[in-house]
């Protein structure tokens, strides 16, 4: 989904996205052990990337998109997933022609062993109403699912201004989780405005390590992106005691 959304965003005037899958063998470029692989390619006819951008494309928090249009985490997460599974991510691009992103993944050679027991997922310490603010649709969708899976009720919005409307409405909110870099109003600005309306509202800033300005006046609890459900649960449990 990350690769398809990147392809879509690279074609503001329209174009085509093609998804192909083929059998593949490890080659020198991929630097993978010999064996059988599958190569899944997402090909677009978009704006393409320069050679300099291509070199940095999988760096965490690097993004060529305008503020509010990307987190810089999509390709780095895809790359990390591929490496974790024993594969690789290959990118090729030409400005004005398009980009091809290829996931190379090893073919399973044996069936997985049956687990002796299914691990029990630990629920949150207490159920809460959480106002969640993030303008990235992928992060919003995945985090909302994680929060609901933990037993929380989620009010999801995509901007600081919308979040302030919810806070002014007087409806119950036990805690707010907000991104920092968003168009119109940053997470820190939202937190400062929220404190004027509800001084006791706990606020968790979920953000990348490189995004916060020096000398910030608000000392907020933080959760570094990307995060797992267990990390999210433990942070919220600390704040909801």
Examine the pLDDT at 135 and tell me if it is beyond 60: yes
Confidence of residue 149 (pLDDT cuts 50, 70, 90): very high
Evaluate whether residue 111 is within a structural domain: no
Pick the residue with more confidence: 139 or 198? 198
Evaluate whether residue 120 is within a structural domain: no
Evaluate whether residue 154 is within a structural domain: yes
Query: Are residue 158 and residue 95 in the same domain, yes or no?
Result: no
Q: What is the predicted pLDDT for the residue at 225?
A: 82
15's torsion region: left (phi>0), alpha (psi -120 to 50) or beta? Answer: left
pTM: 0.60
Query: Are residue 161 and residue 204 in the same domain, yes or no?
Result: yes
Under 8 Å between Cβ of 201 and 177: no
DSSP string, the chain: -HHHHHHHHT-TT---EEEEEEEEE--TTTT--SSEEEEEEEEE-S----HHHHHHTTSTT---SPTTS--S-HHHHHHHHHHHTT-EEEEEEETTTEEEEEEEEEPP-SPPPPPSSPPPPPPPSS--EEEEE-S-HHHHHHHHHHHHHTT-EEEEESSHHHHHHHHHTT---SEEEE-S--SSS-HHHHHHHHHHH-TT--EEEEE-TT-SPTT-S----EEESS--HHHHHHHHHHH--
Question: What is the CATH classification number for the domain harbouring 33?
Answer: 3.30.565.10
Domain limits for position 135: 129-239
Calculate mean pLDDT across residues 13-25. Answer: 92
- The span from the CA of 104 to the CA of 101, in Å, is 10
Q: What is the predicted pLDDT for the residue at 68?
A: 47
Calculate mean pLDDT across residues 201-211. Answer: 80
Across all residues in the chain, what is the average pLDDT?
84
Three-state secondary structure of 185-218 = CCHHHHHHHHHHHCCCCCEEEEECCCCCCCCCCC
Per-residue model confidence as pLDDT tens digits over 30-74: 678 888 899 999 999 999 998 888 888 887 656 655 544 554 556
Query: Are residue 202 and residue 161 in the same domain, yes or no?
Result: yes
Phi, psi of 228, deg, nearest 5: -100, 165
Enter the tokens of residue 31: 């630097």
Examine the pLDDT at 92 and tell me if it is beyond 60: yes
Lowest mean pLDDT, pick from 17-26, 178-187, 214-223, 230-239: 214-223
Q: Could you give the angle at the alpha carbon of 191 between the alpha carbons of 188 and 192, nearest 5°?
A: 90
Pick the residue with more confidence: 80 or 93? 93
Pick the residue with more confidence: 83 or 132? 132
Q: What is the predicted pLDDT for the residue at 66?
A: 53
Confidence of residue 118 (pLDDT cuts 50, 70, 90): low
Examine the pLDDT at 123 and tell me if it is beyond 70: no
Question: What is the CATH classification number for the domain harbouring 181?
Answer: 3.40.50.2300
Calculate mean pLDDT across residues 12-22. Answer: 94
Q: What is the predicted pLDDT for the residue at 215?
A: 45
Q: What is the predicted pLDDT for the residue at 110?
A: 78
Split into its structural domains, the chain has a count of 2
Evaluate whether residue 115 is within a structural domain: no
Evaluate whether residue 184 is within a structural domain: yes
Query: Are residue 8 and residue 42 in the same domain, yes or no?
Result: yes
Interstrand relation of 203-207 and 222-224 (parallel, antiparallel or unpaired): parallel
């Amino acid at each position: 989904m990350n690769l398809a959304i990147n392809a879509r965003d690279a074609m503001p005037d329209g174009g085509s996205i093609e998804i192909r899958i083929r059998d593949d063998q490890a080659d020198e470029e991929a630097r993978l052990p010999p064996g059988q692989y599958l190569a899944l390619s997402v090909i677009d006819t978009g704006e393409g990337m320069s050679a300099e951008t291509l070199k940095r494309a999988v760096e965490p928090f690097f993004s060529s998109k305008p503020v509010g249009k990307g987190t810089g985490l999509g390709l780095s997460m895809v790359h990390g997933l591929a490496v974790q599974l024993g594969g690789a991510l290959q990118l090729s691009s030409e400005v004005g022609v398009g980009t091809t992103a290829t996931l190379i993944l090893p073919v399973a050679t044996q069936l997985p062993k049956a687990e002796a027991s299914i691990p029990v997922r630990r629920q949150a310490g207490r159920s809460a109403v959480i106002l969640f603010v993030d303008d990235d649709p992928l992060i919003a969708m995945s985090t909302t699912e994680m929060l609901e899976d933990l037993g929380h009720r989620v009010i999801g919005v995509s901007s600081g201004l919308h979040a302030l409307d919810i806070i002014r409405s007087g409806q119950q909110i036990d805690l707010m989780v907000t991104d920092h870099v968003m168009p119109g109003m940053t997470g820190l600005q939202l937190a400062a405005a929220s404190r004027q309306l509800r001084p006791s509202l706990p606020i968790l800033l979920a953000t990348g390590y490189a995004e916060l300005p020096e000398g910030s006046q608000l000392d907020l609890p933080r959760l570094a992106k990307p995060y797992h459900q267990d990390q999210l649960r433990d942070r919220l449990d600390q704040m909801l005691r």
